[in-house]
Amino acid sequence: MTAAEPSVPRTGASSYRERAMRFGAHGGLAGVLTEPALDRSIAGAPVVVLTNVGLNHHVGPFRLWVELARKLASAGFAVLRFDSAGLGDSEPRRETISDIERAVLDLNDAAAMLGERIGATRFVPMALCSGVDAAHRFSIRNASVAGAVFLDGYAYRTTGFRLRYLTRRWLQFARWRRFIRRRWIYNYAAATKGVRETGEVDEIFVRSYPPLADLAKDFDSMVARGTKLFFGFTGEVDHSYNGERQLFEMFPNLRSSQAVSNAYYHAADHLFSFARDRRLLLEHLTSWMSTSFGK
């Protein structure tokens, strides 16, 4: 493994510090470790691990991961945000395996490095959209995962979903607000950057969901071993998820579990592109981490 670069204090140096890392079995993974100041560090707390959202660099969409890492570090938690192999600053792997399994290997390498460098023994992967696929597999296979956050992860239509879809879909103010926001962003881009509308585009990425029954068993297994889970969904995925209680319609066994938390960000778009929505998400995740793993 390549040695890490020196730690660099950031603004508010009393709250967190950051250093670039290179690691991995092939030596090609790159990321940034954000750590709390020594007087703020929570002894024995799990380390949060953040990976790519789609093809986004490890800063996350709209710098979401940067903001989250620094906020969590200021609350006492170390956070590694890194690029999966072949994305951003990380070099590709040579293994001829699926993208998901390659990403799981990356997470394993990240956990191994954190154990070696800072003595970490427990981890909390946090993922958004397609990143949930690898984070889920990593979580179910590793007892060292103390908690996991799945944002706009797997969603299955339920009877409740269909009733809400038919009766409330076009009456929801948040839905119209998201539509107006998207049109405003497009019009602004068209006016300032010369972007023009080209019509419909073909789908180039399709996620393969596991069977609902298998996923339910996975979650039950994680909860049984003491893993804490946080599920969050945005209003922009209302083609498959459209109500705060839908999580428990999909997975009834989770309803009574004290280890499960969920939130429905009905006004937010898929990438939390507006600052107000990001602030709300960051407050929720920081509070959840502090309540679940704080002193």
Contacts of 222 (CB under 8 A, 6+ apart): 139, 140, 145, 148, 229
**Strands, E assignment, the chain:** 8-9, 16-23, 29-36, 47-50, 79-83, 123-128, 147-151, 228-234, 260-265
Taking residues 232-241, report their average pLDDT.
Answer: 94
State the average pLDDT for the chain: 87
Best CA proximity match to 109, nearest among 30, 3, 25? 25
Domains in the chain, CATH or no CATH each: 8-293 (3.40.50.1820)
pLDDT at 6 over 70: no
Tens of pLDDT along 138-149? 999 999 999 999
| Least-confidence region, from 79-88, 145-154, 181-190, 222-231 | 181-190
21, 122 in Cβ contact below 8 A?
Answer: no
Supply 257's token pair.
């579990």
Taking residues 152-178, report their average pLDDT.
Answer: 80
What is the pTM (predicted TM-score) of this model?
0.85
The label of the residue with tokens 């991995």 reads 24
195: confidence class by pLDDT, cuts 50, 70, 90: very low
Tens of pLDDT along 206-217? 678 899 999 999
